[in-house]
Structure 1
């Protein structure tokens, strides 16, 4: 029986360990849209933007609460170490029974003969009070409610702006990984081609058809390509790590991008992008909302000239005694209460509110100027991004053609060399030209992709 239990526990632990290893080795495959979706849910800035919306909701509730009844309760217990005293003329003290004009009612106190000193409190006092206050009219309250809702709208626009920035960074990082991936595959193909060329050159050298110098040239080219391959491989790994950081994904997670550059860049999409006139930009909404808040601040300072009305009431139970053990006796408690209405009328504050109103009007003018400047810059940004993408596409087409021609030249040079009508130096130079053409092509492709993202941002369609 014990052996069966031990066997069962062992199998359970083995299964758990196997599942942990399987999870650790899990590979996540992502497309561009999936990467963006993951980033919008896990990026730190996106999370904080969402939390800011929750904070703004709390601010709305806080402002609303000031218009609800404010109820407070107070419990006090006091020991009068030196009770307050009432000083009266000696004859008044005798009339009150506080003394016979002999210096006061406190036998331990030496006082002049013409006055009587009477303690004004007992040794121990306690009180329990409940007060309530209700705002009836306050112009700032209603302005504050509207301002809190406007602030919530601003945080929503801030969240949208943050998401746009995240989408922009994810797209650029994603494209960088794909570019490095393509470069790595091409450099690997070039490496295989040069290895084959080296093998053929060594065979020709052994047969006596070429010199040792020809073999050395190819080896130098092979070493350069190997070094370039290592650099591209490191660049791919770094760009992948950067993408994961911007997505909010753990660094040790293995990710595979199951999209190619050709899957993302369609000619029809780019043409429609170049002919797009643009849409609403969230930056304008942010500035409009800030302008609304400035106007509400102006209104709030203006309503400060209006009276405030509030109602209040207090109920209190008090007790007192000379000895502590009797202070809470039921027959010693006495009640008092009062209620009223308070009207607060501002008369003169040294022109403080007037100066605040002047400041608000200047701030509103500043925001209006900023809005005009922003709209002009958005139009300029759209124009520049459009021109940049057009030029990038033209450059890309030229570099793509150059790449094809360089590959054709290399193949023809290699055939001539194999047939004995060309030199090894021509093959090496053709390979160097091909490598340069491929580098220029990928640089142009990267510039086109970045220009595409910049135009999408300028048009407001990220």
Structure 2
């Protein structure tokens, strides 16, 4: 692995422009993305929303104070007829009230007992926990997406470096073959075959460079960078060290997706209790105080105020609501049963994902070891055949076959690298250890 790593590193460094530009390691990309990608801000807003919802729930059990003011101009006063003998021998019509009336008052209500409101206060903790879990899930998604795209960029760069090296080797062989053709040593068809290989390599190089541009654009998006910003990915540690992934025992409750579902279920059960609590009476304390001015002249409506006030207890007892609350209660029970069944299905899916990730990491680990040995062997064969061809002991067909085998082994090794890195990410995700993976970089 070390020889291959050194070889690939030298090729990569030779193919990159030598100008001063910031290089981004995987850790640097993750650090930037965790600070600047938009979903992080959305998760922060959700946390702040949960805090405000907790304050709102607490507010239902705090005193509610309001004040009102009212000025009335009775354009036509109500009148009544006094019967005869009450205010004289004849019936008499009199007006009731005053033309102008000003009232200012304040009211206070304090809940003493409301079971539904108390349960609302209890829901604040799981609601905040849910927002925190959403933040953790957001970070894990960012880590997964950035790392996956980073590996894609890095591997494509290795492919480009190998293709450039193959192109250079093929060009050198092609120059020799053209000279041999001109001297009549070989046939023109031998040169044409090598030219086809050369042109195919150039096409593969152009395709890889296009893929690199696309991969970089995806990486910049996942990091929260604008598309016009440059990103130079260079992390030789990925080649110097074979990636390792620690396989833990499957633990569904440790997954953020499981914890979110369990917390949601807890909130739904609290909502069921709140609906049931709606059958219970509520008790509240009330108090009011105000002042009123009356007069038949406009100015009298704003002077000589007379105060008034009251205190009391208010009892509200639900008796019959047309079975609405009963229907709400049954709907909520069905919602809980649905989420419980969904959670059981999710646990089975999480287990499947974990088992598949284990299988993939084992397969990828075996492939990368085999392909590493194959590259080394193919390189040795190519070097020997090249020397023997120059000495005239091997034919051109042998040289072309050795070259093709070497190219194929390089391609297989590159594919094994990306498969291994992706399998490691999938395993970390299935174990719920992406944050640990990030912290250990």
Task: Find 1:444's aligned residue among 394, 398, 416.
Answer: 416
Aligned equivalent of 1:155, options 125, 131, 134: 131
Would the alpha carbon gap of residues 223 and 120 (structure 1) be closer, same or farther in structure 2, given more than 3 Å must change? farther
Structure 1 partner of 2:72: 78
Match runs of 1:71-220 below 5 Å: 71-81=65-75, 83-88=76-81, 91=84, 95=87, 101=91, 116=93, 118-220=94-196
Q: Mean Cα displacement is larger for which, 44-53 or 277-286?
A: 277-286
CA deviation after TM superposition for structure 1 residue 364, in Å? 2.8
Q: Is the 8 A contact 1:132 1:312 kept in 2?
A: yes
Q: Does 1:318 align with 2:311?
A: no
Q: Deviations over 1:197-255 (max 9, x none)?
A: 12222333344433333333332222211111111122122212211110112222222
**Alpha-carbon distance, 1:147 to partner:** 0.7
Listed one character per residue, the Cα deviations across residues 12-43 of structure 1 (whole Å, up to 9, x for unaligned) are xxxxxxxxxxxxx9843322222222212111
Residues 263/47 of structure 1: CA separation in 2 closer, same or farther (3 Å cut): farther
Query: What is the CA-CA distance between 1:429 and the residue it aligns to?
Result: 4.2
2:269 is the alignment partner of 1:292 = no
Shift of 1:44: 1.1
Q: Deviations over 1:52-105 (max 9, x none)?
A: 011000000011111111111112233334x3523435638x8299xx65xx7x
Distance 1:90 1:203 in 2: 138
| CA-to-aligned-CA distance 1:356-398 (integer Å, 9 cap, x gap) | 3333333333333233322232222221211121112222333
1:434 corresponding residue in structure 2: 406
What is the CA-CA distance between 1:263 and the residue it aligns to?
4.1
- 8 A contact 1:308–1:344 mirrored in 2: yes
Q: 1:215 to 1:343 in 2, by over 3 A?
A: same
Give, in whole Å, the separation in 1 of the partners of 2:241 and 2:79. 93
CA distance in 1, matches of 2:250, 2:220: 30
Answer yes or no: is 1:56 the counterpart of 2:56.
no
Aligned partners of 1:290 and 1:450: how far apart in 2?
31
DSSP 3-state at the match of 1:236:
helix
Q: Is the 8 A contact 1:71 1:133 kept in 2?
A: yes
* Match 1:349 to one of 313, 321, 328: 321
Deviations for 1:304-340, whole angstroms, at most 9, x for unmatched residues? 222211111122222344444x155423x22222221
Aligned residue among 56, 62, 86 for 1:68? 62
Q: Which has the larger displacement, 334-343 or 419-428?
A: 419-428
Give the number of aligned pairs. Answer: 413
User: 2:102 touches 2:302 (CA, 8 Å); kept in 1?
Assistant: no
1:257 to 2:233 alignment: yes
For structure 1, the residue ranges without an aligned partner over 5 or more in a row are: 1-24, 105-115
Distance 1:51 1:409, change over 3 A: same
The residue number in structure 2 matching 1:221 is: 197
Rg bigger for which structure? 1
- Give the SS at the match of 2:265: helix
Stretches (4+) displaced over 6 A:
none
CA distance in 2, matches of 1:163, 1:313: 50
Q: Alpha carbons of 1:417 and 1:84: their partners in 2 closer, same or farther (altered >3 Å)? A: farther
Gapped regions of structure 2 (runs ≥ 5): 1-18, 435-441
Question: Residue 305 of structure 1: SS of its match in structure 2?
Answer: coil
Q: TM-score, normalising length from structure 1?
A: 0.82
Residues 111-142 of structure 1 show CA distances to partners (whole Å, capped at 9, x for unaligned) of xxxxx4x5445444332221111111111121
CA distance in 2, matches of 1:138, 1:453: 50
What SS class does the counterpart of residue 228 from structure 2 fall into? coil
Q: Secondary structure at the match of 2:278?
A: helix
> CA offsets per residue over residues 141-197 of structure 1, 9 Å max, x none?
211011122111111112212221211111111111111111111111111111211
Aligned equivalent of 1:455, options 424, 427, 434: 427
C-alpha distance in 1 between matches for 2:401 and 2:72: 101
Q: 1:317 touches 1:334 (CA, 8 Å); kept in 2?
A: yes
CA drift at 1:425: 4.4
Q: 1:377 maps to which residue?
A: 349
Shift, 1:341, TM fit: 1.0
Look up the SS of the partner of 1:312 in the other structure.
strand
Distance of 1:342 and 1:329 partners within structure 2 = 33
Alpha-carbon separation, structure 2, partners of 1:54 and 1:151? 11
| Larger displacement relative to structure 2 (280-289 or 399-408) | 399-408
Is the CA contact (8 Å cut-off) linking 1:126 and 1:327 kept in structure 2?
no
Q: Secondary structure at the match of 2:70?
A: strand
> Structure 1 pair 423/140, CA: closer, same or farther in 2 (3 Å)?
same
Q: Are the aligned partners of 1:413 and 1:422 in contact in 2 as well (CA < 8 Å)?
A: yes
Aligned to 1:307: 281
What is the CA distance between 1:405 and its match in structure 2? 3.6
Q: TM-score, normalised by structure 2?
A: 0.85
